[in-house]
Every structure is written in C-alpha cells, then in structure tokens.
Structure 1
Amino acid sequence: MVFKSRAERSHYISAYNKSLALWKIPYSEEDVKTSFGTAHVILSGPKDAPALVLLHGMNASSTMWFPNIEALSKNRRVYAIDFLTEPGKSVSMGKTLSKEEIVLWYNEIFKHYKLNNFEIIGASAGAWYGVLLAIQDDSKIKKLVLLGPAQTFENIDERGKSTPAILMKFFPSKKKWDKTLENFSTDPKKIPMVFKRQSYLAYKTKIGSNFWKMQPFSNDELKKINIPVLVLTGDKDIINSESGHKKAKETLSNYKGEVIPNAGHFLTIDQKEIVNKKIIAFLGK
C-alpha cells in the first residue's frame, strides 16, 4: 500500500535500520497483530516505569525520536509506534483507515500492552493523532504533549510555506528535498545524514490518503480534553503560528504552551536539549 515495489521497501527498511542505530540506548522491536495489519513498536526504558507512547510525524517513522529517546526513556517505559499507512515497519492490510478505524487500531495496540492511564507525545501529524485519541469518551490518556502540531488547531498551508514539502511527495528531487529541510529546520546540518536518507526515501513513496483527511479540530471537540496538554512550537515553524496557540489556550481547559526560540518544525532536532527538558518537566516523575 505504501511502497511501489518490494525493492523500494527493502531500500527503505535498510535506511530505517541505519537511522535506528542513532538510538544510543537499549531497545527492542516488536510486531503486534491487529485487525488492520501489523503494528511495529519500538520499546525502551524500564519495564516497570509509567507508560509513554510516541507518535511520530508524517513520513518520519519512529526513528525520528533519536534526539529525545535517551531522555524520555530514563523514567518511562516508551512505546514508539510506526503509523500503519506510512513508510515504516508497520504493515497495512491495504485498507485506508477512517478516523474511527485509526482510534480502533491504536486501542488494539494499547490493549495488547495493557496500557492504562498513560501519556502520549505526538509530533506534527502524530500530534493530530494524539488529539484524536484524547477526544474519545473512553480515552485513557492522562497527559498529552503536542510538538509542532500539524492540521490540529489551524490549517497548515494558509501561508503557502509548506507547499514545497507537499510537492516533494508528487515530484521528488534532491533539490526539492534540500529546500524542504531548509524550510523545516533552522539548522539542517544538525540532521544526521542517515536520517536524511531515510526521510528522502519516505517522501518518494506514495502519499497517504490519511493526509487529506486531517482537518483542524473544532472548538467543541477540543473542549472535550480536560487532561494537561503541553503545546510546543518553534518560532520559525512554517506549520504553526500564534493563532494556533491562541485557539489551544481558548479551548483546552488545562493548556500550557511555549514557543521555542531558534527552532523550526523539526524542533526536536533544532533545540533537542530545551525540548527534552520542557517535556520531562511537564510529565514529571
């Protein structure tokens, strides 16, 4: 469903594994069978620690957490999940998921690991999925961190600055990819070459139909969320603006938000130390 050929998938998985070598801590990988396909989960941290679920950004896969995973795994049992219909190690049965099915899919994974009263960190598109899960009546999420949330509080392309990244999916080229990195990061040189390679291969795959279904949540939907929510965006983020924070503050009853200086949409890389400290302080012990 995601890859155009077996060879394309093989090249991508090889790049994925090289990026995963950036995780400088012990981890394990597991496949969880669900009604919609096989979910790939990377686990790290103490087995008896509180549970923390990581939802990656679009086309990034769980390997994107390499700048943060050591800090996040210190006092948490971390479950990093590859989204089913995007490049990664999760394998879809070939069906496009509705919003309701996305919730069911994640809940099957949570049930498999017996997760109850847990935390979620979502980046970009992963933040949108985190909010989708948090507005459910039976949500078991106790804290939510949204990093550069995409299509969550406002439409991302109102200013037209994200267009190069979208065009990259339809007409991939090295020139467009370099421009995309410049738009998303304040210092692309900080991004390891192996992760750049994996991300480039991801952008060359088919564009997921779930992207077109992602629309900003309504005020009524957001007001359902009563748990503590931390929203972090970069001051150079082309996806988010002050109006997004304004909407979050007006609709989330337990909102905390900050704009990180000298950080773009890839704030977890651009300012990893600052982002890690703010997340850990918010989650607590």
Structure 2
Amino acid sequence: MRFIIITTACLVLFSCTDKFAAYKEVPDYITEASQLDSTYYEAYDRTLELWPTDYEELYIPTTDGIAHVLVSGPKNGEPMVLLHGMNASSTMWYPNIQALSENYRVFAIDFLLEPGKSHVYDKVENVEKVVDWYEEVLFALKVDNFHLIGASRGGWLAVNLAFSNQKRIKSMILLSPAQTFTWIRPSKDLFKNIVKLFSSKEKRIEQTLESMSADVTHIKDSYIQQYKLGLETDSDNEFILSMRPFSTKKLQTLQMPVLVLIGDDDIINEPKTVKIANSLPRGEGEIISNAGHFLSMDQAEVVNKKMLEFLDK
C-alpha cells in the first residue's frame, strides 16, 4: 500500500510540473490532414523555424473548435496575449517574439476562422461569439490578468475583447488596427473589396503584399510562402463585413494604458487614428517612419523597442 501511495504522489507531482500537458497531443485534423491542408501545415512549421526562441504548441479544445496556441517566454513572466492579423496566423510574430518573450509569458493564438492551426467545428457568425471563444481559451490557459497586443484585424478583435475585460487587461497595444479608429482608407471601395483583396490568387498576391508592406524584402520567404498557401484554403469570415470603427465615446471607456502604432505608408489607417489614440484616457499614438500596414515586419526593431518602452512604464 505504501508503494502505491508513493507512486500516486509521484504521478501527481509529475503532472503538476506541466499544467499544459493535456493540450500537447497533436489532433487528427493535423496528423490526418488533406494534401492541401498538410502542405499548409508544413509551411507553417517551416516559418516556425524562424522563431528565435523556445516555444510550445498547445491544442486547446473549446466549445467551437480547437485553439492552437504558441507559448514562449519564462513561466513566471507576466502573461501577454497576441492576436494576429487577417490570414496571417501567429507565425507573423516571428520578428517580434524574441523581444516580447524575454520577460513575458507570451501566448500567440491562431484565429479560429482562418488559416493557422486552430480548427473550427461549425460557423461562428458574430464577433460576440469570437470574444466568447477567446475568453474560453484564456480560461483554459489559466490566464487572468494579461497584456494584449493585436495587429490589423487582430487589433479590432483586441478592442472588442477589451471592452468586456477592462479589469483583466493590464495594457493594450494595437499595431495598425483595421476598422477600429477610422474607416479603412484610401477609398470607399477598399473596405468593400477587402475580403477579395485578401483572397487574391497567385498573380495578385504579390500586389497585395506590396500594398501592405513598405518593403517586402523585409519579409522572410518562408513566411510569404505560408501566407500564399493560406490564401488558397477556405476561411470563414462572414462577420468581417460587419466590422465598423468604434465611436470615440465608446473608445473613451477604455481604462487600461493603450498604445497605437501605425505606419507612415499605412493603407489601412491615417493620422486621425493617432489623434484619437492620444485622446484616450491613457492612450498614446505614434506614426512609424518607413512602414506600411505590416509595420511589425517592416520596422521590427523600432516597433519592438516602442512596445517594450510602453510596457516598461
């Protein structure tokens, strides 16, 4: 009997050393993927070779699907959550993750409805359901109070998440947030065609990248290949057309420190975005030179420095 008690205690102790052990088994939709999906997952893994720091991959079951999460940084670091841009997947953070994860425990979540390694069970038709999904993932991760960073459409989602989690979010950084402070520029037709723009076939993908980046040569080839393959897969973006900028009155209710960065050649934002950001109770806004919409790649070193300085405050 004594031997059994000791063995059980050891098993309990072992399981406690890795609280995410249950989420590390690779699910069937990855191991038994179709040829198209398998090719994409392989490209995703090649981009992860650019990840300059240790990481873990988690697959978290939720009501609406399985959330794939990349985890980096010290286990005792303050939690930080990253929400990537449209069709970008969490691998878009490869130029930023080393700086962010030096002192923070970083959780980069693949969006449920788009290319990445998350998997949706059925339709998720509104942003309220998406916010519920993120909250379910954070509950499983045992993430309570955290810093939040969102890029492009991930910035818009971050603000939606912030409105219902005011006391949990320590600070929020928005990198060229789409449809958040102002309407997408430069023309009224751009937003109408945004889904089509991001779903371009091969001959238009280069044009898409060039319109979003001030210098495409700053983007690694393996990521570009993954991005292209991602555009060939199906994604469920029904609620994207319901995205609208938030009213200034609504934005003024955000009580956490907020940093907004946009590029000086940003097709999605304009200087008015920075003006509104600076008007928030604890807001700061700045324009990054020689950067487009993909400013976290165009000017990674500058953006990383700005984010860390803001967080250090």
SS in 1 for 2:67: strand
| Equivalent residues in 2 for 1:43-122, closer than 5 Å | 43-122=71-150
Which residue identity does 2:234 align to in structure 1? K
Change (3 A) 1:169 1:260: closer
Instruction: Give yes or no for contact 2:212–2:266 (8 Å, CA) kept in 1.
Output: yes
Letter in 1 for 2:138: F
Q: Which moved more, 1:137-146 or 1:253-262?
A: 137-146
Q: Secondary structure at the match of 1:202?
A: helix
Give the C-alpha shift of residue 164 in structure 1.
Answer: 7.6
Matched, 1:17 2:45: yes
Aligned-residue offset at 1:161? 5.7
What residue in structure 2 maps to residue 181 of structure 1?
Answer: 209
Aligned to 2:13: none
Distance 2:184 2:201 in 1: 22
* Aligned twin of 2:153: 125
Q: Map 1:123-272; keep pairs closer than 5 Å.
A: 123-136=151-164, 139-159=167-187, 160=189, 166-170=195-199, 172-207=200-235, 208-250=237-279, 252-272=280-300
Shift of 1:177: 0.9
- RMSD between aligned alpha carbons? 1.9
Q: After the TM superposition, which residues 28-47 of structure 1 pair with which residues of structure 2 at under 5 Å, given as runs?
A: 28-47=56-75
Gaps of 5+ in 2: 1-32
Structure 1, 230-239 or 213-222: larger mean CA deviation: 213-222
**Paired residues of 1:16 and 1:63 also in contact (CA < 8 A):** yes
More off after superposition, 204-213 vs 59-68: 204-213
Report which of the two structures shows the higher radius of gyration computed on alpha carbons: 2
CA distance in structure 1 between the partners assigned to 2:185 and 2:266 by the alignment: 12
Deviation at 1:158, TM superposition (A): 4.8
**1:27 counterpart letter in structure 2:** Y
Instruction: Give the AA of the match of 1:10.
Output: S
- Which string of whole-angstrom CA distances, capped at 9 and with x for unpartnered residues, describes residues 9-61 of structure 1? 11111111111111011100001111111111000000011000000000000
1:235-268 Cα offsets, whole Å, 9 max, x none, are: 0010000122223333x21110110000001101
CA contact (8 A) 1:165 1:180 kept: no
Once the 2 structures are TM-superposed, how far is the Cα of residue 210 of structure 1 from its aligned partner?
2.9
Distance 1:162 1:194, change over 3 A: farther
Choose between structure 1 and 2: higher helix proportion. 2
Q: Which amino acid aligns with 2:266?
A: D
Do the aligned residues in 2 keep the contact of 1:127 with 1:147 (CA within 8 Å)?
Answer: yes
User: Unpaired segments of 5 or more residues in structure 1?
Assistant: none
The residue number in structure 2 matching 1:274 is 302
Q: TM-score, normalised by structure 2?
A: 0.84
In structure 1, the residue corresponding to 2:52 is in which secondary structure?
coil
Counting matched residue pairs gives 279
Distance in 1 of aligned mates of 2:213 and 2:138: 32
Name whichever of 76-85 and 92-101 sits farther off. Answer: 92-101
| Aligned AA (1:210) | F
Three-state SS of the structure 2 residue aligned to 1:225 is coil
Q: Which amino acid aligns with 1:8?
A: L
Alpha-carbon distance in 1 for matches of 2:297, 2:191: 19
TM-score, normalised with respect to structure 1: 0.92
Distance in 1, Cα, partners of 2:172 & 2:52? 25
CA distance in 2, matches of 1:192, 1:184: 15
| Percent identity between the two aligned chains | 45
Q: How far is the alpha carbon of 1:97 from its aligned partner?
A: 3.7
CA distance in 2, matches of 1:244, 1:83: 25
